[in-house]
Structure 1
Amino acid sequence: MFGTDTRKRRGSAVALLAAASLMLTLAGCGVDPITPADARGNAAGSDDKQGAQGATGSARSAEPVDCARTKCIALTFDAGPGKDTPHLLDVLKEKKVPATFFLLGKKHVDRYPEVVKRIADEGHEVANHTWTHRILTDLEADEVRDELSRTQDAIEKITGSRPTLMRPPQGRTDDTVSEVSRDLGLAQILWSVTAKDYSTTDSELIRKRVLEGARGDGIILLHDIYDGTVPAVPGIIDELKDRGFTFVTVPQLLAPGKAEPGAVYRP
């Protein structure tokens, strides 16, 4: 049996390896990530000058947000919904903050359909995080398609709309994943800061990690399925608002550009 210190060292090594593998995956597969600023710049010559429109509902501002001029940041949650998601939605509603939810199909979308509907009804962006959280770069193209399509179908059945965004588990993508995503009308969204909330229940530590990494045009990755995460969210929101950040969904962050199917977006 391994002692506590040995297990901790192994856990740290695995985390470092996962981070290194993500960088290698992106660097070696021909995938060229697009920044939010690039997405906006690419659309600068188009006729769409509306900026990031706020939707009706409690979560979003009624005024458009121009993230080229405003210090914007996107709050995103992976792998839900879960038992704490309704409380999270209460917090977001109270603080009038929109978020983007990358939902997991099996045991989440199919277990909490009423929460999925509430996420959509309250003006948040509903997105795809696969059916069973398999690492997509380990799969054949038809398996990747199944992982994404099943969640697309389940979400559409509940909300009436198919997501246009996906987040690959662990951020791992390659040319095959990009091709399937393009076929399914899904853009791939990565992140700029994560609290690694899968490894701790310390809400103060989660808050600290997010605040240390927050910057303009950032995308925050959290998970609403872990015990320490939702309690950390009010403090994260309040501090970032005090620093002058405006919270937006991922599509709002890219506007007037639009997330193109198959493309990878990362701040």
Structure 2
Amino acid sequence: MLGRKPGRRRGPAVAVLAAASLMLTIAGCGVDTVTPGDARGEAAPADGKGGAAGDGGAVDCGKVKCIALTFDAGPGKDTPHLLDILREKKVPATFFLLGKKHVDRYPEVVKRIADEGHEVANHTWTHRILTDLDADQVRDELSRTQNAIEKITGRKPTLMRPPQGRTDDTVSEVSRELGLAQILWSVTAKDYATTDSALIRQRTVDGAKGDGIILLHDIYDGTVPAVPGIIDELKQRGFTFVTVPQLLAPGTAEPGTVYRP
């Protein structure tokens, strides 16, 4: 989810959403959501555990306090530094990548994200609000990013995050067709509206909960500097960091389904 960032050039995708609310809005009352716990409960585990690569072993998120760190709308100029931090802290993350002027501008960073074991996911091509589009337009927004990421990493994403968290039956059907599950979130720091890293850190840790999904953006100046403190504080509070697929394991994200903590 994008918003305005003071003092930086605003690209087309950012300008479109300068006044966007960061509420978890699902357009269309007929769209159901599934929690991570429900996803795990519906699956019969082969070994009772799901992997957590960043922590060096398997973890059962039904028994330990897991949380997924996710970043939207990159990669950007600060993403390599973020990857350095995640590698140092041994934390896996999920990156919902924007296609135009991001994936196509930083292909080497996209490859590094994948090579270092993070989950590479889809955040559309130009960040248009999908519920404002017809099925063909939704398909174009998602499939262009799918194809661009596959060209770089050799694998199409299986997860997507709709801009502003807005989805409906049409978006769900196209996502199902393209093999994409929809992932929302439980806490965001509204980092689009501030460069205060301490505030971003505090908002994030205050909203953290087990089975949570954190939404941040690696394109804003205040965000990446806040990440070490977020990780350290949440680890001290007993959280284990996992990717979104690991949070759902042994369940598997089903295409078209909307997941929200």
CA shift for structure 1 position 261: 0.1
Q: Moved runs in structure 1, 4+ residues, more than 4 A?
A: none
CA shift for structure 1 position 62: 2.7
Query: For the structure 1 residues 176 and 192, does the alpha-carbon distance in structure 2 shift closer, same or farther, using more than 3 Å as the test?
Result: same
- In 2, Cα distance between equivalents of 1:120 and 1:75: 15
What TM-score does the superposition give when structure 2 sets the normalisation length? 0.90
Q: Equivalent of 2:180, from 172, 186, 208?
A: 186
Residue 206 of structure 2 corresponds to residue 212 of structure 1? yes
Structure 1 partner of 2:259: 265
- In 1, Cα distance between equivalents of 2:205 and 2:22: 20
Could you say what the CA RMSD is over the residues aligned between the two structures, in angstroms?
Answer: 1.2
What TM-score does the superposition give when structure 1 sets the normalisation length? 0.88
Give the % identical residues: 81
- In 2, Cα distance between equivalents of 1:77 and 1:24: 20
- In 2, Cα distance between equivalents of 1:40 and 1:54: 15
CA shift for structure 1 position 52: 1.6
Q: Equivalent of 1:120, from 101, 114, 125?
A: 114
Structure number with the higher helix fraction is: 1
**Greater Cα radius of gyration, structure 1 or 2:** 1
**What is the CA deviation profile of residues 30-72 of structure 1, one whole-angstrom value per residue up to 9, with x for unaligned ones?**
11110000000011xx3533522134xxxx2331010000000
Equivalent runs, 1:21-36 vs 2, <5 Å: 22-23=24-25, 25=27, 28-36=28-36
Residue 60 of structure 2 corresponds to residue 62 of structure 1? no
**What is the CA deviation profile of residues 83-140 of structure 1, one whole-angstrom value per residue up to 9, with x for unaligned ones?**
0000000000000000000000000000000000000000000000000000000000
Residue 50 of structure 2 corresponds to residue 52 of structure 1? yes
Structure 2 partner of 1:42: 42
- In 2, Cα distance between equivalents of 1:219 and 1:49: 24
Say whether the 8 Å CA contact 1:104–1:132 is kept in structure 2: yes
Say whether the 8 Å CA contact 1:164–1:185 is kept in structure 2: yes
Equivalent runs, 1:1-267 vs 2, <5 Å: 18=21, 22-23=24-25, 25=27, 28-43=28-43, 46=44, 48-55=46-53, 60-267=54-261
Give structure 2 stretches of 5+ with no counterpart: 1-18
